[in-house]
Amino acid sequence: MSTAVLIPAYNPDGKLLTLLSELISGGFDNIVVVDDGSKAECQALFDEVAAMEKVVLHRHPVNMGKGAALKSGLICILNNFPECRMVITADADGQHTPQDICRLSSAAGSAPEKLWLGVRAFDKDVPLRSLIGNRLTAFFMRILLGMKISDTQTGLRAIPRSFIRELLQIPYNRYEFELEMLLACKRSGRETAELTISTVYIDNNSSSHFNPLKDSFKIYIVLFRYILVSLLTAVVDYLVYVPALFLCGTFLPYSEAVTTAAAVSIGRIAGAAVQYTLVRKVVFYSRASVISTLPKFIFLVICSGCASYLVMHAINSSVHWNFYFAKLAAELIIYLANFLIQRDFIFQREER
């Protein structure tokens, strides 16, 4: 299987030339390097890159971000190397060894439709910002999306050609593009696979252009949008519940338990209408039919509504909170269970 190597580069040093020479010696015939608007002092180095046999250099006139550089390189490979069925992406700063790139290429050949990740062990001499960033992102992806990925920020990946067009539609152009690539697997039902690689940090990773504060914020915004829909649903539910409780208590001549149940039902129906539409399309990207998902969703809504009602009364009886605060507490208690049931049993996707 023909494999291309794609290396985005921003203000690289001589380690890039060493990596390219070793890749060419290792048998890679199609290598694309993207100069992402590097400073003028680096242009002599890129002239040497352009003169290398089997290397294609693509230049950005200004810095556009790692995601934009990866997309430019993928377009170049898609258009100019039709025989390449796999693209290996690697960093230009020496963190990815030629040996690991070759190993990942060989492993990907055994399952060419998976997205392969070269994952670091994080067992020794790891900069604190890299360790914390990866652990937090992996934790949230596991909880929110059910994706168990050891190294969410690795730049060493094997991308199937069939996946490239989908990746080119990702609107993000900086470090968050690599996280979006993983989420695109979730959307499309594509499997991921991992290969453990060497953990290399040179000078405590000082050459990295990753900004721990700014770029992490962008990455977590991408992740947390998956919880915003549920928060919006809870807001709609509560905003409908409050006036419904007042109106039911004013105009329905029944007991407090009956009026509360009526208000909970009205709020739940309003929230469910918003939630089903947005969760199906925006959160879990489900392509399952309405016929197969809606009955299960309605059953969950009924069960969670009953659970909310019972928990509200339990809170009211035990700590004597009014039903407005009891409603908020009950929703927080059942929220996570609701999310996990929807993720794993209602809108789950079959991996291909």
DSSP for 44-88, written as a single string = HHHHHHHHSTTEEEEEESS---HHHHHHHHHHHHHHH-TTEEEEE
Specify if 20 maps to a domain: yes
Please tell me whether residues 247 and 143 are part of one structural domain: no
Give me the amino acid identity at 201.
Y
Last residue of a domain, one of 162, 189, 212: 212
Please tell me whether residues 259 and 191 are part of one structural domain: no
Please tell me whether residues 60 and 167 are part of one structural domain: yes
The percentage of residues in the chain with a pLDDT greater than 70, rounded to a whole number, is 82
Contact between 290 and 253 (Cβ < 8 Å): no
**Higher per-residue pLDDT: 311 or 210:** 311
The percentage of residues in the chain with a pLDDT greater than 90, rounded to a whole number, is 39
- Say how many C-beta atoms besides its own lie within 10 A of residue 209's C-beta: 14
Lowest mean pLDDT among 53-67, 89-103, 108-122, 314-328: 314-328
- Say how many C-beta atoms besides its own lie within 10 A of residue 332's C-beta: 11
Last residue of a domain, one of 212, 237, 267: 212
Give the pLDDT mean for 139-161: 85
Specify if 314 maps to a domain: yes
Please tell me whether residues 75 and 201 are part of one structural domain: yes
As a whole number, the mean pLDDT across the chain is 83
Last residue of a domain, one of 187, 212, 237: 212
Tally: H helices and E strands in the chain: 11, 7
Please tell me whether residues 147 and 294 are part of one structural domain: no
Domain hosting 56: range is 2-212
Which run of H or of E encompasses 141? Answer: helix 128-145
d(CA 336, CA 165): 34
- pLDDT in the model for residue 126: 60
Please tell me whether residues 73 and 181 are part of one structural domain: yes
Specify if 36 maps to a domain: yes
- pLDDT in the model for residue 212: 53
CATH number at residue 184: 3.90.550.10
CA angle 301, 306, 308 (to 5 degrees): 90
Lowest mean pLDDT among 31-35, 56-60, 319-323: 319-323
Give the pLDDT mean for 41-60: 95
Number of domains in the chain: 2
Give the pLDDT mean for 106-113: 93
Per the structure block, which two tokens stand in for 223?
């992740």
CA atoms within 13 A on the CB side of 23: 34
Contact between 1 and 86 (Cβ < 8 Å): yes
Query: 């494999």: which residue's tokens?
Result: 3
**Higher per-residue pLDDT: 22 or 321:** 22
Tens of pLDDT along 6-43?
999 999 999 999 999 999 999 999 999 999 999 999 99
Specify if 217 maps to a domain: no
Specify if 218 maps to a domain: no
Per the structure block, which two tokens stand in for 188?
């499309």
Under the banding of pLDDT at 50, 70 and 90, the label for residue 326 is: confident
- pLDDT in the model for residue 331: 73
Specify if 174 maps to a domain: yes
Per the structure block, which two tokens stand in for 132?
């914390």
Please tell me whether residues 88 and 182 are part of one structural domain: yes
- pLDDT in the model for residue 351: 43
Please tell me whether residues 199 and 63 are part of one structural domain: yes
Under the banding of pLDDT at 50, 70 and 90, the label for residue 122 is: low
Please tell me whether residues 182 and 288 are part of one structural domain: no
Lowest mean pLDDT among 15-19, 79-83, 313-317: 313-317
- pLDDT in the model for residue 125: 61
DSSP letter, residue 96: S
Asked if residue 201 has pLDDT above 60, the reply is no
Tens of pLDDT along 255-290?
777 888 888 888 878 888 888 888 777 666 666 788
Please tell me whether residues 131 and 208 are part of one structural domain: yes
Please tell me whether residues 204 and 250 are part of one structural domain: no
- pLDDT in the model for residue 269: 86
- pLDDT in the model for residue 112: 92
d(CA 95, CA 190): 27
Specify if 252 maps to a domain: yes
Please tell me whether residues 239 and 192 are part of one structural domain: no
pTM given for the model: 0.68
User: Residues 6 or more apart from 44 whose CB is under 8 A from it?
Assistant: none
- pLDDT in the model for residue 151: 86
Specify if 351 maps to a domain: no
